[in-house]
Amino acid sequence: MTEHPSYTSWTEKELAASLSRFPERYKTFYHHGGAEIPRLSVPTSIGQDYDEKIGFPGRYPFTRGVQPTMYRGRLWTMRQYAGFSTAAESNKRYRYLLDHGTTGLSVAFDLPTQIGYDSDHAMALGEVGKVGVAIDSLADMEILFEGIPLDKVSTSMTINSPAMVLFAMYVVVAQKQGVATEKIKGTIQNDILKEYVARGTYIFPPRPSLRLITDIFRWCGKNTPLFNTISISGYHIREAGSTAVQEVAFTLANGVTYVKTALEAGLELDHFARRLAFFFNASSDLLEEVAKFRAARRLWARIMKDLGANKPASWMLRFHTQTAGNTLTAQQIDNNIVRVTLQALSAVLGGTQSLHTNSRDEALSLPTEESVRTALRTQQVIAYETGVANTVDPLAGSYFIEELTDRIESEAVELMAKIDQAGGVVACIEDGFIQRQIEHSAYAYQREIESGERIIVGVNKFQVEEESRPPLLRVSPEVEAEQVDRLQQLKASRNNDQVDQCLSSLRSAAQNDGELMEPVLACVREYATLGEICDVLRQVFGEYRDRQ
């Protein structure tokens, strides 16, 4: 902190007197990761260059938000991630959510689907329908969106390595509903790099995976101008234990990698950049989170400008937020509602475009319908009752928030430079450099909890004996057998010659560096299964395996 005229005298008088009588609670206060928190930020803590660093909403560098009016114009999209069991069950849950005022769908797929296995694959044992809905073919996708008009809702799909296949199914379902392809809107996650780092649902090695992503950018640029082609995700990096700074740095570094890959493939930056979306975590350190969102927005704008983007839309970091699953506790689960409320508030104060709020029982199992409703209501209370949505970027100009925004940005820049020096994101992933950094942060955090340095209410302080157990939602074990049955019926009833032909066209396109979206669409239309399509690509591209 530089000297402020009255700061010295305050330090010597009031502060010194106070400290001598009432020592502070801790010797030092710090964020996760060790950055010290100042006692008091003062005007000199932040720079003078308002226009360059803070500016106006809807204008470069977008520190204050991507739209001029923010939530005064339109509230954020309340988008609850959901999906489990079969397509029919999930379809019911989506209709329930739409009836209760959710404004966008967010599809959770089960792990076999996310890893490109059909439900009858040996590795799918026990996993079918568990953490999301099982989709084996277009037939399941048709059921999933039955009665849901795809020109009206926007749909986000958490699908990465096989994103092209699931997206192709979505396009075909829309076409079958009679919806024009260019009208569908939503987001596919399609962010493979963070899968290697933090989430684990990779199939292919990095290079062919990046090729698939670039292909999607290209196809969507021509055909689905309203669809976000990727959601570059820090969420899972943070869930894996990273600090806020690491979340920003690793996510934006991944973003730069996608951009550079697409540029190398000859795509026009201002053409695809506007459809890049982001996805961040809202964790419990409320003020740090607000600053994080603002810092990420400013940093991305600067990066994109440096990369040669000319249009303001290309500079904007638009993001979805989910509250931090890892902060939910199994103890006194109602406390989780409070945590989620505060985390959601940080996302809104940070200017998110859409938001998922976790349910109170998610540390224990999939959320029940009732707890999902409370989670949604939390957003609605923030939106309609608190008044925080009625002005733009209300925390701007806070000495502390601006100082923190600066710090997060500059530390993220430093970390990104390190990755660059070490050969870039892909090299750092293969090396385990990024994974190790996250691991260390996660372990440090856990040790702080165990030692009592970090207090988690109900966990290491204010515990109570708990007896009653909440009702839990369980996916019936029969789902797996049902799904496998349906898959076998499908294989018996479709035109298998056509399927084989389409698959072999896909294979030759993959082998010959051809564009892949059209051949995949053809396979999907013939009801080739997800596993069959991914197997063709596995044979051509190879498979990636874990490395620590």
Partner 1 sequence: MSKKYRVLIGKPGLDGHDRGAKVIAQALRDHGFEVIYTGIRRSPAEIAAAAVQEDVDAVGLSSLSGAHLRLFPAVVEELAKAGADDIVVVGGGVIPEDDIATLKEAGVREIFTPGATLEDVVNAFQGVCEKK
Partner 2 sequence: MNISNVIEGVSRRDPRSIGRAISIVENHDPGAQAILDSLDAEKIAACLVVGITGLPGAGKSTLTAQLIKEYRSQKKRIGIVAVDPSSPLSGGALLGDRVRMMNHALDRDVVIRSMATRGRLGGVCGSAGAAVRIMAQSGCEVVLIETVGVGQSEMDIVRMADLTAMVLAPGLGDDIQAMKAGLLEVADILVVNKADLRGADALVLDMESVAQQRQERQGRSTRVCSTIANQGQGVAALAQSFKEINGQFQHSGEKAQRRLQARRYEVIDWAVELIRPRIADRVAQKQGFCGDPMLLAQDILAELGVESKK
Burial 256-273 (b: 16+ CB within 10 A, else e): bbbbebbeeeebebbbbb
From partner 1, partner 2, none, interface partner of 472 (C-beta below 5 to 8 A by class): partner 1
How near is the Cβ of 124 to partner 1 at its closest, in Å?
A: 7
Are 194 and 188 in contact by the 8 Å Cβ rule? The answer is no
Q: Binding residues for partner 1, per CB under 8 A?
A: 111-112, 114-115, 117, 122-127, 130-131, 195, 198-201, 239-241, 326, 329-331, 363-366, 439, 442-443, 446-447, 450, 459, 469, 472, 474-475, 477, 545-548
> How is the beta sheet containing 230-233 ordered, strand by strand?
227-228, 185-188, 154-158, 104-108, 77-82, 354-356, 319-323, 276-282, 230-233
Alpha-carbon gap, residue 176 to 184, rounded angstroms? 13
Residues 6+ apart with CB under 8 A from 195: 160, 161, 201, 202
Task: State which residue, 314 or 358, has the beta carbon closest to partner 1.
Answer: 358
**Sign for the pseudo-dihedral over CA of 527, 530, 531, 535:** positive
The 377-416 contact track toward partner 2, x by CB under 8 A, reads ----------------------------------------
**Residue 477 contacts which entry, partner 1, partner 2, none (Cβ below 5-8 A, type-dependent):** partner 1
- Under the binding rule (CB under 8 A), the answer on residue 123 touching partner 2 is no
Stretch touching partner 2 by CB under 8 A, among 121-129, 137-145, 283-291, 539-547: 539-547
Minimal distance in Å, beta carbon 252 to partner 2?
22
120 binds, among partner 2, partner 1, none (CB under 5 to 8 A by kind): none
Give dist(CA 62, CA 353) in Å, integer. 13
Instruction: Give the shortest CB-130-to-partner 2 separation in angstroms.
Output: 23
Task: Compose the 276-295 pattern: x for residues touching partner 2 by CB under 8 A, - for all others.
Answer: --------------------
Residue 36 per-residue DSSP state? B
Report the residue number, 338 or 422, with the smaller CB distance to partner 2.
Answer: 422
Binding residue (CB under 8 A) for partner 2 from 16, 313, 330, 427: 427
The site partner of 383 among partner 1, partner 2, none (C-beta below 5 to 8 Å per kind) is none
548 binds partner 2 (CB under 8 A): yes
Six-digit token string for 230: 């990727």
Kindly tell me the sign of the dihedral angle through the C-alpha atoms of 501, 545, 195, 253.
Answer: negative
The closest of 472, 469, 459, 474 to 335, measured between CA atoms, is 459
Binding site for partner 2 (CB under 8 A): 421-423, 427, 430-431, 433, 545-548
